[in-house]
């Protein structure tokens, strides 16, 4: 069984170099094979500007008030919200069931003002969070949407909670000094099939007609208004659903290498999961005149590390004993780019790991350089004994939990395996290591870096002294890492109610965008849990607005 799974992972092409589109601390989802469409290739719609080109007749035509494309977190929240408001809702998804969506496996939701949160003193306010994100990201977010989404986030959580989805609350007994993530955190108590059953039950109880193994190919347009969706069902029948409004939330484009390279300056991301997050919803929206935004960011995983040459390219931090080498970025050691030069304050990767996607993506791949003394220490001592109290307290909760009681005993074996597979290099001297790995300036970089370690002052990247440790006791290792991430952030521009807008910033009638398909994010990724929080919020906002528009 394990051998077959390994072979399947090795068979993933660079084109599907991506995929578990979820926020944090989750296990791998099942693999789903589907060749992603490039922009401008969705069904028979043709290129941009020809959205109203006549389509061949569908095998059957149906009608409803609102059709939801994508039943992940944002789509299911939109569907339940709209249905509970009295709309006739049909939801479609390419996955085989709710258990195969990212919604079944993400770990938590950041939200403001849910009913349980309001029961506690020192709960967050919309004003606090608006100022924190708006000012902290230097005003890059869509301010109107940000304000509306924060207001909607607690209401969206109430839809899930009241619908029987189990949560625990990180903000209980909080004080004004408690971290914002803890004051607004809602942690799922279930995952996988158990959570999927609760989410599906919410849709069923709300009256949503949810349909699985259904691939949307076109948005239907009449007289400039989006009037429905064409999809292909599991029997390969073509179905047109005519609707007053369409809400699109297909999970971003982390599975589409072409789109990644275009919007991330050549960068790629990998995550071992839902192959359907390939940008199909964004492409369909562009084809009917929706305008792409300009902000694209990401939420990387808890270590930011993987390698496609490895027999197991990535494993969640909770399994760090199995693949300890992918934990190396969390210790704040020496990192270099392809030229062998430093490119960031490595201590930030230890303390603020999931916020470091931008510098990693700029380099496309990067290298950890360590000596044998550090490898021996990591292999024999409990991880949390090696981490300073300051760094430990500032690590993300998921990272802390992942290392509880762990000693990376398999590290030496995995380094040896990486050498065989061609993504780890070992040498008795830094000069030989530089030659083997092709890191031109590594020798001078290590010499300079070791000088900083001796003086305790980093005059280049200004890293805290606690993370300065000499690379001096050979043999030495260079470990190649690629970027592992949960999701792409960025997509279609919207107004402050999640309505897609055109090149003139005018709403496209009948079309709403939710989740990571939208351009209303905090960019760069700034607040922990906000990815899922804004998925819930945008789903609630679009679902309630679309339902009200029918009246």
Regarding predicted confidence, which is higher, 358 or 370? 370
Structure tokens at 436: 């083997």
Q: What is the DSSP string of 338-396?
A: TTS---S-HHHHHHSGGG-HHHHHHHSEEEEEEEHHHHHHHHHS-HHHHS-HHHHHHS-
What's the mean pLDDT in 217-239? 97
Strands (E) in 291-356, as ranges, are 297-300, 334-336
Q: What is the pLDDT of residues 164-177, one digit of tens each?
A: 999 988 776 777 77
Residue 255 gets which letter from DSSP? Answer: T
- Candidates 545, 549, 543, 547; CA nearest to 77 is 543
Query: Which CA distances in Å does 308 have to 354, 370, 487?
Result: 20, 21, 18
Contact between 489 and 298 under an 8 Å Cβ cutoff? The reply is yes
Regarding predicted confidence, which is higher, 176 or 513? 513
Give 304-483's CATH code, choosing from 3.30.70.940, 3.40.1080.10, 3.90.700.10, 3.40.630.10. 3.90.700.10
As a whole-number percent, the residues of the chain with pLDDT over 70 amount to: 86
Domain assignments of the chain as residue spans, ordered by start: 44-301+489-551, 304-483
Range of weakest confidence among 4-8, 322-326, 345-349: 4-8
- Candidates 171, 36, 19, 172; CA nearest to 105 is 19
pLDDT of residue 114: 94
What top-level class would CATH report for the domain 44-301+489-551? alpha beta
pLDDT tier for residue 27 given thresholds of 50, 70 and 90: very low
Range of weakest confidence among 29-43, 104-118, 218-232, 446-460: 29-43
What's the mean pLDDT in 476-493? 94
Is a pLDDT exceeding 90 seen at residue 450? yes
Q: What is the pLDDT of residues 410-441, one digit of tens each?
A: 999 999 999 999 999 999 999 999 999 999 99
pLDDT of residue 273: 67
Say what the pTM is: 0.87
């Amino acid at each position: 069984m394990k051998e077959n799974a390994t072979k399947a992972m090795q068979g993933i092409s660079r084109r599907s170099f991506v995929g578990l589109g979820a926020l944090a601390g989750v296990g791998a989802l099942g693999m789903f094979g589907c060749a992603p469409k490039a922009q401008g290739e969705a069904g028979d719609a043709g290129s941009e500007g020809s959205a109203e080109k006549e389509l061949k007749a569908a095998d059957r035509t149906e009608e409803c008030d609102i059709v939801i494309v994508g039943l992940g977190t944002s789509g299911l929240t939109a569907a339940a919200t709209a249905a509970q408001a009295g709309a006739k809702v049909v939801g479609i998804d390419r996955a085989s069931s709710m258990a195969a969506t990212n919604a079944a496996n993400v770990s938590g939701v950041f939200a403001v003002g849910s009913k349980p949160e309001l029961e506690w003193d020192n709960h967050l306010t919309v004003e606090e969070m608006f100022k924190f994100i708006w000012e902290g990201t230097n005003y890059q977010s869509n301010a109107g949407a940000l304000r509306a989404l924060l207001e909607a986030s607690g209401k969206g959580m109430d839809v899930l909670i009241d619908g029987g989805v189990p949560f625990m609350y990180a903000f209980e007994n909080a004080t004004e000094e408690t971290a914002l993530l803890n004051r607004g955190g809602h942690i799922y108590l279930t995952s996988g099939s158990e959570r999927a059953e609760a989410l599906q039950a919410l849709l069923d109880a709300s009256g949503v007609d949810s349909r699985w193994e259904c691939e949307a190919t076109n948005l239907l347009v009449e007289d400039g208004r989006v009037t429905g969706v064409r999809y292909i069902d599991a029997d390969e029948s073509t179905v047109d659903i005519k609707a007053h409004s369409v809400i699109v939330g297909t999970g971003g484009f982390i599975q589409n290498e072409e789109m990644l390279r275009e919007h991330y300056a050549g960068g790629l991301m990998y995550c071992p999961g839902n192959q359907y997050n390939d940008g199909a919803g964004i492409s369909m929206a562009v084809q009917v005149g929706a305008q792409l935004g300009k902000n694209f960011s990401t939420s990387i995983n808890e270590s930011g590390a993987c390698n496609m040459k490895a027999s197991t390219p990535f494993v969640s931090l909770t399994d760090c004993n199995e693949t300890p080498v992918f934990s190396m970025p969390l210790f704040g050691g020496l990192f270099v780019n392809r030229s062998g030069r430093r490119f960031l304050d490595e201590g930030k990767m230890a303390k603020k790991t999931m916020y470091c996607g931008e510098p990693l993506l700029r380099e496309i791949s990067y290298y950890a350089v360590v000596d044998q003394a550090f490898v021996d220490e990591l292999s024999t001592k409990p991880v949390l004994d090696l981490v300073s109290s300051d760094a430990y307290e500032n690590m993300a909760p998921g990272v802390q939990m992942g290392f509880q009681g762990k000693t990376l005993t398999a590290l030496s074996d995995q380094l040896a395996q990486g050498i065989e597979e061609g993504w780890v290099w070992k040498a008795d001297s830094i000069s030989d290591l530089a030659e083997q790995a092709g890191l031109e300036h590594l020798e001078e970089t290590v010499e300079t870096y070791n000088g900083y370690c001796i003086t305790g002052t980093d005059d280049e990247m200004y890293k805290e002294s606690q993370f300065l440790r000499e690379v001096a006791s050979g043999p030495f290792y260079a470990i190649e890492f690629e970027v592992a991430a949960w999701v792409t952030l960025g997509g279609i521009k919207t107004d402050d109610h999640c309505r897609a807008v055109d090149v003139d910033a005018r709403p496209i009638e009948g079309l709403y965008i939710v989740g990571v398909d939208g351009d209303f994010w905090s960019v760069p990724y700034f607040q922990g849990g906000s990815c899922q929080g804004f998925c819930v919020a945008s789903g609630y906002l679009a679902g309630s607005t679309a339902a009200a528009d029918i009246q």
